[in-house]
Chain A
């Protein structure tokens, strides 16, 4: 899965900035996308392209349980968020609703990948290739259940044994 990176070099990007509270009453996915990341980066909507990735620090998606957050990012074109760690509800919303891939990365990927770099995420080998910088980083493998839900295409398609 190839795409370009939009980088937010900070920790604790919370759901209030991913999609501010005033938009919680909106349930039209395309309209939510217009306001994605509005609390942090008002230019996000104009710069994001289909297939892009977000790269950020620790505790991405902390705060509320609003599924609007992964929905707004996903319908903006974001296919994966790479972060040093994720808040739990954002993580399971992203996976269970099959909106985007939450990829846990290590410090080397966080520091070396720059805004605009083209990267190739290979979840079968748990690696991230930086095509711009010709580097390769490891990603943390998904836990068993998360891997299975992703493979199935979301919680509703997953059939537990």
Chain B
């Protein structure tokens, strides 16, 4: 069995599972946030009316809560949702609730690794499609809707069809100025936004071994854009060291068997990878940056679970140091812990000196919620994950998806720019 099959077999009490088997898997961790949480509360209300008992959760210690989409509260409705969420966690005895303005908080997927909320080998589900991110720690991490999350909260398990696995092998390191974001955009360009549908996308090979945990998180994060059920990397010593540095203990590793089966293996040579952008209006609509259209950009947005981890901000600082931005540039670290490190290490000063605005952790404009949404005809280069019509604001706005290095270089020139071409 491969790693995903092994995790699902263990979680469903079976010796063996194969693709297409339907299993009820016991869940180890579950996450809700200020959009899916109120959605779940609504499902609970419906269930109550149907006479289903919703008085107790199966295990509140396995549940954690983030406030990220519409925070700091964007308007009255968002503020009320935060109150609802707080009442819910209080009533059900959920202790791990990361509240904004009270120490550590941030985007749920970022907290999953910054706070070591999920361990290798665990089944982790979240009320958000980018839950796939956390598969980079070697867990089975999968996004679900409100009804399914409500089911998990009450029963501690959920059904899955065991997915087929696509294996993406990266031979050799990515060159300087090429980031994990470029690699995953290249993959999505190759297989399309339906290319991983219902499947596992697993990453391995020498280039992945060389990659930092944060880069692997970027890869798994965007498996969602290829339609995948989960993204995963077999955990190694780097994951152990990473989680240990975040306070985790007793980490056990899990790997696939030597004879693990994959539906298809794709091979990439690291040395051949280039900076990539995804043009409007799909993550699969890719172009090499040097061949991208010469458009006048209005904004560079550096934020989200995809592109505002510490490593991402370091990359941006490398470009912005001693330079000035030519277009509006917003930088929103994805969690307070990252914000603080960026402050302590001088990154925020570099950003402010360059003329950029630094905002609080939030999903914000990535999902068109608030804080920097786009006007009609505005064109943005963004380190986020989706560029569907209207994703970041007006239906006639445009988003180009890129790595943090490309978004920063483009902020300096006002055009889509390969960081290697900056003077």
Which residues of chain A have a CB within 8 Å of any CB of chain B? Answer: 12, 14, 16-17, 20-22, 24-27, 39-40, 58-59, 62-68, 85, 87-89, 92-93, 96-97, 143-145, 154-156, 160
Contacts and interface: CB of A to CB of B under 8 A. Distances in A.
Given A63-B386, A93-B148, A88 B198 contact: yes
B151 A66 contact: no
A16 B197 contact: no
A12 B391 CA distance: 14
Contacts of B299: none
A26 B77 contact: yes
A25 to B, nearest CB: 5
A27 B193 contact: no
A39 B389 contact: yes
Contacts of A160: 24, 159
A23 to B, nearest CB: 10
Nearest to A97: B147
A88 B77 contact: no
B127 interface: yes
Contacts of B129: 63-65, 89
Given A20-B368, A63-B388, A93-B148, A25 B81 contact: yes
Given A65-B127, A87-B227, 15 more contacts: A12-B194, A14-B386, A16-B367, A20-B390, A20-B395, A25-B70, A27-B81, A59-B197, A63-B386, A64-B129, A65-B143, A67-B39, A96-B145, A97-B147, A143-B22
Contacts of A59: 193-194, 197, 227
A68 B367 CA distance: 14
A12 B285 CA distance: 13
B369 interface: yes
Nearest to A94: B145
Contacts of A85: 194, 197
B36 interface: yes
B6 interface: no
A67 B198 contact: no
B331 interface: no
Given A20-B368, A58-B194, A160-B159, A39 B145 contact: no
A22 B369 contact: yes
B83 to A, nearest CB: 12
Contacts of A66: 35, 39, 145
Interface string B117-150: 0000000000111010000000000011111100
Contact of A24 (B42, B69, B388): B69
A4 B389 CA distance: 27
A65 B159 contact: no
A93 B150 CA distance: 12
Interface string B255-285: 0000000000000000000000000001000
Interface string B381-422: 000001011110001000000000000000000000000000
Contacts of A87: 194, 197, 227
B159 to A, nearest CB: 6
Contact of B388 (A14, A25, A145): A14
B161 A145 contact: yes
A67 B35 CA distance: 10
Contact of A16 (B47, B78, B388): B388
Contacts of A17: 388-390
Contact of B144 (A14, A24, A89): A89
